[in-house]
Structure 1
Amino acid sequence: MTEEDVVQYLQETPGFFERHPALLETLTIPHPVHGGAISLLERQVALLRKSTSDYRGEFERLVAIARENEAIMKKSRRLILKCLSCESLDDFAGIVEEVMREDFSIQYQSMVLFADQALDTSIRTASWEAAEPILKEMLVQSGCYCGVLSVAESEFLFEGQSDAVMSSAILPLVSLEGGKVVYHGVLALGSSRLNHFDKEKGALFLDYLSDLLSALLLRLLP
């Protein structure tokens, strides 16, 4: 009888060790770490302990993510409710700045609205013709942009604070008109940490926030 015959027999007879439990204590295999011999039963126990530990770690990771998402949704709810009470663009910008700073711990932020004519607001404005050549590479991507800005992009968005900004999240403020995306502005969030904004981790929330702020802004635009 060859080893292959034994393997095939055990595969075809899954109840073999249930009928011969004593064999589990006498069979030995190499220890996975120090190489010494251990019983098959000890090996199974070790594998079960490892699986239990892995499942526990995954469960704890999922619980942490759930708690983080719950906290984010509570902060987003506060932002929505406060912005719904806004009666002017300045109110809107002030609330966004406050919530981003206090609830989301954003170090640097800048809101720029695109307008060809003067708006009744202290929010910085720029014509789309002036902004588009600088921001087009960033805005051409779908959804929000996360990462490092070029010198021109950073200086345009953050002005005097641009040297301190190491990573950014750029949220387009848009509407859909006639099947085309119209840019009304951007909200730029910055951090002094290089990898603070993670597209893979926070893409869904950033896109949600961009859609939310866009809808709230449109209520206030002339």
Structure 2
Amino acid sequence: MTFPNDTHAMNPITEDDIANYLANTPDFFERHAQLLSEVQLTSPHGNRAVSLQERQAEMLREKIKALEHRVMDMVRHGTDNAVTTDRLQRWTRGLLGTRDPRALPYRIADELQSIFMVPQTAIRLWDCEAVYAKEAYALPVSEDLKTLANSLATPYCGLNANFETSSWLEEGRAAISVALIALRAAPDAPAFGLLVLASPDAQRFNAEMGTDFLERIAELASAGLSRLRAA
């Protein structure tokens, strides 16, 4: 029989009430320790029933496994960063060790290709000293290309949209994704050249990748190549 003043009938206990009670009564399981082994839960790894203690152990193992994966990711990224840093140092050493300015653009492009395993690379400079006018890297480029280079506040990474730079490559048709790196004497200065990295892999240079590393390449290459510019 239910009476009008029966508060339990009018306000039945909910799961939230039970959860709040247990959360706010930490000594409950001390007074009822037998429940830790008597309460049966469904295991997420099958339809078998497990005790509360076993379920807690399973949850702890899952957390440990997730932490292990995070640690492995951190180790892998750290290793990748170390390899990239070592390659950058080798490339920079070659740049600094090149005494003949005439050979420098070739070495910059060739060693980017060999050290960083880029399938194709190319470089063009404009406003060079007249003494370098017959070099391949000083061949004329269009005004549209110069405008494009000037517009690149950061390197362009993405699909090759039939850029003029394809004609600079030995196999332009194989350049599916490209990185276009403007060369400039200062961050706010007009571009005086363009460095091209190209790959047949559409994902090698993609719009989602970070460009910090390529910006360091641009800064170092620009500083070295400033020796070739007309006064």
TM-score (norm: length of structure 2): 0.81
Are 1:99 and 2:107 an aligned pair? Answer: no
Q: Secondary structure at the match of 1:115?
A: coil
Q: Give the direction of change, closer, same or farther, for the CA distance of 1:103–1:186 in structure 2 (3 Å limit).
A: same
CA distance in 2, matches of 1:116, 1:87: 17
Structure 1: segments with no counterpart, 5+ residues: none
- Equivalent residue in structure 1 for 2:172, among 162, 169, 177: 162
User: Shift of residue 49 of structure 1?
Assistant: 1.1
Please give the per-residue CA displacement for 1:186-216, whole angstroms capped at 9, x wherever unaligned: 1101111111124544421111111121112
The percent of aligned pairs where both chains have the same amino acid is: 24
Q: Give the direction of change, closer, same or farther, for the CA distance of 1:116–1:96 in structure 2 (3 Å limit).
A: closer
User: Shift of residue 119 of structure 1?
Assistant: 4.5
CA distance in 2, matches of 1:148, 1:198: 7
Q: How does 1:75-86 map to 2 (within 5 A)?
A: 75-86=87-98
Please tell me the residue identity of whatever aligns with 2:156: Y
CA distance in 1, matches of 2:147, 2:27: 66
Q: Give the direction of change, closer, same or farther, for the CA distance of 1:4–1:54 in structure 2 (3 Å limit).
A: closer
Q: Give the direction of change, closer, same or farther, for the CA distance of 1:35–1:132 in structure 2 (3 Å limit).
A: farther
Aligned CA RMSD, in angstroms, stands at 2.5
CA distance in 1, matches of 2:67, 2:76: 14
User: Shift of residue 97 of structure 1?
Assistant: 3.1
**Greater share of strand:** 1
Are 1:124 and 2:153 an aligned pair? Answer: no
User: Shift of residue 31 of structure 1?
Assistant: 2.0
CA distance in 2, matches of 1:86, 1:75: 17
Q: How does 1:17-28 map to 2 (within 5 A)?
A: 17-18=29-30, 20-28=32-40
Are 1:115 and 2:127 an aligned pair? Answer: yes
CA distance in 1, matches of 2:224, 2:166: 27
Q: Give the direction of change, closer, same or farther, for the CA distance of 1:119–1:111 in structure 2 (3 Å limit).
A: farther
Of the two, which has the highest radius of gyration? 2
Aligned length: 217
User: Shift of residue 171 of structure 1?
Assistant: 1.3
Q: Give the direction of change, closer, same or farther, for the CA distance of 1:117–1:89 in structure 2 (3 Å limit).
A: closer
Q: Is the CA contact (8 Å cut-off) linking 1:89 and 1:221 kept in structure 2?
A: no
CA distance in 2, matches of 1:16, 1:142: 63
CA distance in 1, matches of 2:146, 2:47: 60
Tell me the equivalent position of 1:146.
157
Tell me the equivalent position of 1:173.
183
TM-score (norm: length of structure 1): 0.84
Q: Give the direction of change, closer, same or farther, for the CA distance of 1:103–1:18 in structure 2 (3 Å limit).
A: farther
- Equivalent residue in structure 2 for 1:68, among 80, 85, 92: 80
Q: Give the direction of change, closer, same or farther, for the CA distance of 1:21–1:220 in structure 2 (3 Å limit).
A: farther
Structure 2: segments with no counterpart, 5+ residues: 1-11
Q: Give the direction of change, closer, same or farther, for the CA distance of 1:6–1:85 in structure 2 (3 Å limit).
A: same
CA distance in 1, matches of 2:52, 2:216: 52
